[in-house]
């Protein structure tokens, strides 16, 4: 696994969906590959965005929009009962039936994701996502500003409500926790959510 710092410049840095597209272009073309990276916007001022990225493959500088500032191999060495500090920006949601009763192609009521907005629900969501992998020793939850995006190719706009989690956790089962780290936590990974950053407690 690799950890990288990436700088996005130009118009792409003002649209979370375009940031995702720019980051994806740092990897060699593979028509059958799933997305095997996670990222988080660390800083953004409308002219440039600093990105922290975790990836299975090593990224390659091959474009002007996204530049790799630093990259290093990141071997994971986890053990059960290990205590770690963590930081996570996630999109905690629940799924409900479409309020307008719209149906999908099968004639079933469509499902919609809605954000969890109260502190208790947001905490319970993370506990569920870490079940059997890690337990929370301490937790601070902070709502971030809403994230607005536009998919230019589809001319479709949307919004997510990211939440920042930080605290101390204890690894329960190292193999399960490693999968959580690799796959990320929750939806909206294409918009910079789900990357779990860890450090020694």
pLDDT of residue 139 exceeding 80, the answer is: yes
83-200 CATH fold: Alpha-Beta Plaits (3.30.70)
pLDDT of residue 27 exceeding 60, the answer is: yes
Burial class from Cβ neighbours inside 10 Å (0-12, 13-18, 19+) for residue 128 reads exposed
- Per-residue pLDDT band for 95 (boundaries 50, 70, 90) equals confident
Q: What is the pLDDT of residue 92?
A: 97
pTM above 0.75, yes or no: yes
pLDDT of residue 137 exceeding 70, the answer is: yes
Q: Locate CATH 3.30.70.1200 in the chain.
A: 2-73
- Per-residue pLDDT band for 32 (boundaries 50, 70, 90) equals low
Q: Locate CATH 3.30.70.1210 in the chain.
A: 83-200
Angle at 31 between CA 27 and CA 37, to 5 degrees: 40
pLDDT of residue 31 exceeding 60, the answer is: no
Pick one of 3.60.40.10, 3.30.70.1200, 4.10.95.10, 1.20.1260.10 as the CATH number of 2-73. Answer: 3.30.70.1200
Q: Which residue has the higher pLDDT, 63 or 155?
A: 63
pLDDT of residue 154 exceeding 70, the answer is: no
Burial class from Cβ neighbours inside 10 Å (0-12, 13-18, 19+) for residue 3 reads middle
């Amino acid at each position: 696994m690799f950890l990288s710092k990436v700088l996005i410049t130009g118009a792409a840095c003002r649209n979370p969906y375009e940031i995702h597209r720019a980051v994806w272009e740092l990897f060699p073309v593979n028509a059958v590959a799933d997305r095997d990276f996670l990222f988080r916007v660390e800083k953004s001022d409308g002219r440039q965005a600093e990105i922290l990225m975790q990836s299975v493959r090593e990224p390659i500088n091959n474009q002007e929009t996204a530049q790799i500032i630093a990259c290093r191999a990141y071997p994971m060495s986890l053990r059960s009962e290990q205590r770690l500090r963590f930081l996570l920006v996630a999109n905690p949601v629940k799924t409900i039936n479409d309020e307008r009763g719209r149906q999908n192609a099968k004639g079933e009521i469509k499902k919609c994701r809605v954000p969890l907005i109260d502190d208790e629900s947001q905490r319970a969501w993370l506990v569920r996502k870490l079940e059997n992998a890690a337990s929370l020793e301490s937790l601070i939850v902070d709502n971030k500003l809403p994230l607005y995006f536009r998919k230019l190719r589809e001319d479709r706009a949307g919004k997510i409500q990211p939440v920042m989690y930080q605290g101390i956790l204890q690894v329960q089962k190292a193999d399960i926790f490693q999968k959580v780290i690799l796959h990320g936590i929750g939806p909206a990974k294409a918009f910079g959510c789900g990357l779990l950053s860890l450090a020694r407690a």
